[in-house]
Structure 1
Amino acid sequence: MKKCPNCQVDVLDNWSVCPLCESPLETTGQESPPTSFPEISLRFNRRKVKQSLTLVSLLVVLLFFVSQSIWRFQFFGLEFVLFGLMTTWIMVLVLIRKRRNIVKGIVYVLIIFSLLSVYFDYIFGWLGWSLTFVIPTLCIAALLAMFVVIQVVKIDPGDYILYLQLAALMGFVPFLFIFMDWVVIELPSWVSIIFSFLMFWSVLVRHGKAIWNELGKRMHV
């Protein structure tokens, strides 16, 4: 256990400075408990996960066919939609298993798939399909996976701040591709940007109170 020489209070956990006055702590001879907070299990319902994923997948496929019937675009085919949905399912399964650090899991999966797509695009004679189609599709899949996980897993309120940051990143990357003129067709990147915008504001509106409370705690307001 550690003690603050200034405040004369005992401090639990792995603090190196006093959380009240920020003075260096002194180590006492008493043994401290491993944590001052109880371990809270992150519970989820497997049936609800499957139902949510199935519903999202059907809606995305339906939206693709409806959009294609209205605008008759040939920018990307059903294979990219199915690839995105497959990635979404993989991400959700990974995140459920690593649900104590969901944001890190999303970033790891996103980086691995992105690097693989860029690598295969390069070795097959760079056509730009990795930046034009695959990475924006991966960003959309990450946003959908994050949305599903938020709905079915009870998480710490502070994690919503990380979700906002990740949603903003998912919109910034495709916007950078467009700004640098690295894409052949801009539509997939714009779709990813729109998804990012909607995800950002949906999290902010639905969990705004928890987010502001957490920001207040971190900023000591």
Structure 2
Amino acid sequence: MKHCDKCNVDIQTNQKYCPLCHQILSGEDDLTKKEIYPEFVPLNRTVLPLTKKIMLFITVITIITLVSVNYFTYNTTPTMWSLIPIGSTLYFWLVVRYGILSKQNIAFKLAFLTTLLLIILNLIDQNYTISPATPGWALNYVTPLSLLACNFAISVIIWVKRINYREYLIYLLSILVFSLIPIILGLFKVITVLWPSIAAFGAAMFILLVIIFFFPKSIKNEIRKRFHL
């Protein structure tokens, strides 16, 4: 017997999705039970492999062009300026590849692309910040506020689309852990502006506590299942 949290009904099925609302069902499969519902097949948009190959080809050609121009102009401009547009090009390709063409759920896309963007921006901050008055802007402001925005976006998606929050719990926990890192760096004086980090961690903790308060049993069962406790 499985249960749909959205419809609040018990369903005698071994299917993964609710036949009424198509949300993920909770509960274990009963292999001895004869299936009475047809299998639900999600309507995923098919993407031609040629589209991915074209995007990859354009990305590779762009990177080769940037490196070549940087190499032949290095005598007049002795800097590796091409790394910045190369990083932007790679990020654009990954946004298309994993954000648009990927069939992964939207929380994975947000978490993955946010992490990638933070890595690129921190590398730019550490190596290409020209003004001595603004070093550390990526760690002090962009990193914690991006984590805050990602956490808020996932929460809004769960609320607006009425998605089963258990499917996104692991991402909320991951963002909570990542939000703690800037605070730890602040204790070691690596980060000099603490309020964005405190705001990001506080928001992540608040969202998690709301879920735990209203769904304590479900959270306990989900953590046991996820971490095989």
Change (3 A) 1:110 1:178: same
Cα distance in structure 2, aligned partners of 1:214 and 1:166: 15
Q: Please give the per-residue CA displacement for 1:104-148, whole angstroms capped at 9, x wherever unaligned.
A: 212212112212221221212471111011101101111111111
Residues 1:108 and 2:112 are matched in the alignment: yes
Query: What's the RMSD between the two structures over aligned residues?
Result: 4.1
Say whether the 8 Å CA contact 2:121–2:138 is kept in structure 1.
yes
Q: Which runs of 5+ in 1 are unaligned?
A: 1-11, 13-18, 21-35, 43-90
- The structure with higher relative contact order (CA 8 Å, sep 6+) is 1
Partner of 1:159: 167
Say whether the 8 Å CA contact 1:95–1:105 is kept in structure 2.
yes
Shift >4 Å, 4+ stretches: 39-42, 94-100, 215-221
2:203 to 186, 195, 205: 195
Say whether the 8 Å CA contact 2:111–2:171 is kept in structure 1.
no
Identity %: 20
Cα distance in structure 2, aligned partners of 1:209 and 1:96: 35
Q: Please give the per-residue CA displacement for 1:44-82, whole angstroms capped at 9, x wherever unaligned.
A: xxxxxxxxxxxxxxxxxxxxxxxxxxxxxxxxxxxxxxx
Cα distance in structure 1, aligned partners of 2:209 and 2:103: 23
User: In the TM superposition, what is the alpha-carbon distance from 1:166 to its structure 2 partner?
Assistant: 2.4
Partner of 2:179: 171
Q: TM-score, normalised by structure 1?
A: 0.50
Q: TM-score, normalised by structure 2?
A: 0.49
Partner of 2:220: 212
Cα distance in structure 2, aligned partners of 1:119 and 1:201: 33
Cα distance in structure 2, aligned partners of 1:158 and 1:37: 22
1:128 to 128, 133, 136: 136
